[in-house]
Structure 1
Amino acid sequence: MDDSPRQRSAPSIADRLRPLRGHLWALVVLLGSVGSVFILWQMAYERELRAASVSFVSNTQEIAELLRQQLVNYELVAGGGASLFASVDRPTPRQWYGYADGMELARRFPEMVGLGFAGYVSQSRLDDLQIEWRQAGWGQLEVRPHGLRDYYGPILYLEPRTVENVDAIGFDMYSEPTRHAAMEAALETGEAAMSGPVHLIQDSGRPGTSLLLYLPVYRGGDRPATVEGRHAAMLGWVYVPFRLDRFIAAKLGDRRDMRFRIYDVTAGASQLLYTADLDEASQEPPAFTHSIEFDTYGRRWRMEFDSLPQAQAVPRLAGLQNTLALGLFASLLMYAVAWMLAQTESRAHGIALRLTEDFRRSEQRFRIAMTYSAIGKALLDSQGRIVEANPAMGRIVGITPQGLVGKRFDALFEDDEVATRGRFAGDSTDDAGVHRSTRRLHREGGDPRHAQLTYSPLPGNLGQDIVGLVQVEDVTKRLRAEAKVLALNRTLEARVASRTRELSQANQELEAFAYSVSHDLRAPLRAIDGFSRILTERYSTTFDEAGRGYLERVRNAASRMGELIDALLKMSRLGRGEVKRERVDLSRMAGEIVEELRASDRSHAVEVEIAPSMFVDGDAALLRNLLGNLIGNAWKFTRGSEQPRIEIAHQAGEFYVRDNGAGFAQEYVDKLFRPFQRLHDQNQFAGHGIGLASVKRVVERHGGTIRAEGREGEGATFYFTLPGNHSEP
């Protein structure tokens, strides 16, 4: 009984600890906050390392993309040169200079040695090219290295015309294995191809690696569908030689934040192309390394990057020590204010519920506007990176909205536009800070596009790095339509003026030539023939047999000269006068010509097959000249054949005259349609060498084409096209 009052009055352990409960909770908060500070410090340390690593990798990818983009710019410059060949049959050096000068290569691409064109020339065409080059007044074209090869690739044009570039004219790049491989790849694929490392002939005595980018040029401007067709239609290559060290310096400048090396790893081999090191090489290992491999114009490159040591690569790690001290100080403050949190928790919770509901509704309205907008929209952070993009933006650039997150917005464009006001250079800027501009957009998996941009400042939430909203509208079709109209007008005006001048000059030269032939050459020929005939008639007894033979040769030569003059006059008349088009029956006309040949040469029995109902629209007199020359040639060259046969017919949109006579070697087919070019001996097959040239002129005056196929000893076939219906009306 005595112990009970003492037991009731003695405070329990819980009662004694109740005044300390708040302190205990505060101590728990302190311990928890200190532990959290250390954990967060460790996480921040690792995050800084990851962020620096991500930034380093992003910078390496940006460098690789810049180099690839500069090569694309080179291809565009070469493509402009190839377009010049598509609009002009063969540009003159002055025209090539005009294009290169207009591109301002020295200002835009100082690393380029020049912009050139190398011809694709067969061995049989090399002499003709050199003669044509000299007759055009362009100097002596010396192809080197010397020696006989099936095909040559000499440098014909190279701008700017520095002393080194002029000395390079005539160098046969096709003979050098590294250049040959790139030129052959471009020829067969029809796409641009880059060479392996070479030493430019302009860089005599200069160390360093250089590369060449080749773009094939085909006759007519269009790429044939087959490799054989590309070989047949090949004119040459527009090429861009550039020095690799200047190429990288021009695009990247002097980078001090990393080291990198470039290797050519095509076909498994590894060849060092370029090394970029810092001036003060540190003995400490790099904080990060990264390697990128990519294909570019038929070559595969590997870029190996080394960052600075960790102290320089991640300088913010040193600041984390101060952050740790600040975190400990904050823990003490949290200990002091821990008891205040419970008091304000309830009120803060109510406020938070209302704010959350308002934010949810605002976010929902924004999401609907972004998702269903037909215009591309993207949110940008302070570094110009995309934080969020809508589906329309993904469709415009060809990348999913998720794939756009984290990309630099400027990296989506091909131009190098730099902001002059605010973040974007624009065509206009209003008082509210809204910028508008038009830029060239790079679309993944497709052609470049032009986009109309509207950038407006946009505040983000607290703690959220969002500074603006950019809207992108694709205006490519409109700009292309405008550019095509302007380019077409300029091209048509230039071509009409050029063709008018050429036609006027050709007519004047032809009239002067005809006058000279008909008046100046006939008088001395008549004198030679007349006096030699008088010598033969009056003094034949005075000369011996050899003398009379010499006189006979003089008369024969004068007679043949007269016949050649007549042939020349006849061919010149074919190019003048108006073409009187009418319905012509080629089958009937061919039959009349064959009957005339049979009547004049009955000893030559030839089997002739003429297809019926071959009608065309053309000048009857010119077409008779055409058929007369083709059938007459076939009649002449079948002499000596066991069973001579001539076929005149039509198939697959072409007329043809085929014989089984002497034929010709196919490699000399280009000489057939040139005046006075003969492939057979005069004593074996007589002629003036003017007939097929007349045939070609008649066909071209009617807007048609002509070609020939043949084999020695097996005959020849001449195919030609003429306008009009080829069936019986």
Structure 2
Amino acid sequence: MLSGLLPRGGYLFALAVLLGSLALVFATWQNARERELHAAELEFVGKTDEVVDLIRQRLVNYELVTRGGAALFASVARPTPRQWQAYVEGMQIGERFPAMLGLGFAGYVSGGGLGELQLEWRDAGYGILDVRPHGRRPFYGPILYLEPRTIANVQAVGFDMYSEATRQAAMQAAAESGEARMTGSVHLIQDAAEKKTGLLLYLPVYRGGDRPASVAARRESLQGWVYVPFRLDPFLAAALGSTAYRDARFRVYDITGGAEELLFTTAIASGEEAPAFQHSTTVESYGRQWRVEFDSPPESLAAPKLQGLQNMLGLGLFASLLMYGLAWMLARTEGRAQAIATRMTEEYRRSELRFRVAMQYSAIGKALLDSEGRIVEANPALAAIVGQSPDVLAGSRFDALFEDDDTDTRTTRRFVATDEQGVYRSTRRLHREGGVPRHAQLTFAPVPGNIDQDIAGLVQVEDVTERVRAEARVHALNRTLEARVALRTRELSLANQELEAFAYTISHDLRAPLRAIDGFSRILFERYAGAVDEHGRDYLGRVRKAAARMGELIDAMLKMSRLTRSELKLERIDLSQVATEILEEQHLADPGRVVERHIQPGLEVTGDAALLRNLMSNLLVNAWKFTRDQPAARVEVGFTDDADGGEFFVRDNGAGFSQDYVDKLFRPFQRLHSQGEFAGHGIGLASVKRIVERHGGMIRAEGREGQGATFYFTLPNPTRVE
């Protein structure tokens, strides 16, 4: 083998190549990693400078707002509250500066001038100026104007900001410098119920509108301060509104005067990786000094290209190991190749043996065909199907075994000649020696032969004669079944015609005797009422009532028969509206009754509008009728949700019924109450049952004597709209 021929120096050289390549890969990777980290850090520092610039620019915008208010004082000695309100509304502070709570003015008043200011305020019609906190002080800085006019801003008017040390320091610094000055962290008056970091920016206003040259002159000419209160958190959020800076993580410390106070910090998720870089910068603005400390994302996010370097390192290591393994692979190639060749030879022998066994012992006939459609080899199963021995079949044309026309023969030849890469199936009549023709299902599949062996495909032959005969019997049964269905349909049509003839007979033939009975009894009563006694007249009245009752029953029976013969016209129906209209009609017909009605809104179904109105009318008229004797009558219509889809219900607290007779409720002309108690024909609930069943639903009833009844029914596609 080659591994035995290689000198020991070759293995040492391979090892040297491995060590050298590993050293080169690691050095290159380390250098590229340091460059990438340095570039990512510079990008991070640049982004922090952009964030600081955005904060500065936002503060400048706030200063411009205060200077606009100061300019108003330059044009008017002291603007009125209405003028101040109009100016602030025109600034649209709420939309442009979400963090700003308003724009205000605090006057500068000496201890002796406070009373004059309060009198002036009251005489001008502005109300009482209550300066808080109370007490005598040398100077005051009360809030006189603060817009927009929210509840919190209105309550802040009168607060003496000069009385609080942090605010006073910024106000004095602004007055002496003539420039805008900002406070440290304060608790804003508007945030009385919340602890939020608030800041105020003051701009002094001098009489005459100009800034005096000296500090003493500024103090003497000071009229007050225009100021803006704002919350730091939304201020920073608005300043960094761009998505490019919204994920910045930083902390803001106020380090003015040497003290350190945390003003703001971004939230960091627990368990988050340490930042890759940190950077700190100092911001001096409006008399305050802030230190802003920035944290970069973790290394994987701050320098995403490092992942590519990791891949490069892995690739370099892989290349080094690959070169090292080449020497060993060359030595072992020959032995492995020989082992593979031996194994493939054995696998080929086993594959050939499996194919021969499958051909020999398969219960399905199989034959190998050459490119001319001749049988190269046939198994015993095929010989048994055609009634010839395998030796006789070898060399014969496969198409000669069948009794089909030339079309299928050409199909077989074309298949084996073109070596199609697919499976082809057909059913043909097989000629069996000494027997009747059989049906065979053929499955052709391309099978390659050995080198220089003319084998184009494999055909499987399966005797399906019994299956073909069974299919023929099934087709015959289907034709018989169709004839039976047609016969039953014709019988049903005749039955429907007989039913219509019966209904016609009831409607016309039975009404004539009833009209005769009613007419002659009426004539007898009118002409001979004096010739008969009281009992006779009572008998005549009963005859007429019975005839009228008979007519009503005939009408009811005809109406019920039409329910099963009319065609359904499906549409979307609002049962809540239908129930409301029916109960309102009952109330108009019987205005003397007071019935409590509860109808669940939004009950919708799909069905025939006329039939569903008939259904609801029968149930609700019954409920109205059977609650007649209840002092507090109540009728409910609703829907119950459950796992089976739910049911509609109509409930009343009327006479009710015994649950023992519930099976009689839906039978025609079956009544559980006498005609004297409650009038009716006994077919209303039978009609309800037929309507529900025609829509594919079911109906049931629950009740107790003297405690009311509930009818539950289902309809297709129920919907309850909230």
Shorter-chain TM range is: 0.3 to 0.5
Which has the higher Rg, Structure 1 or Structure 2? 2
Q: TM-score, normalised by structure 2?
A: 0.40
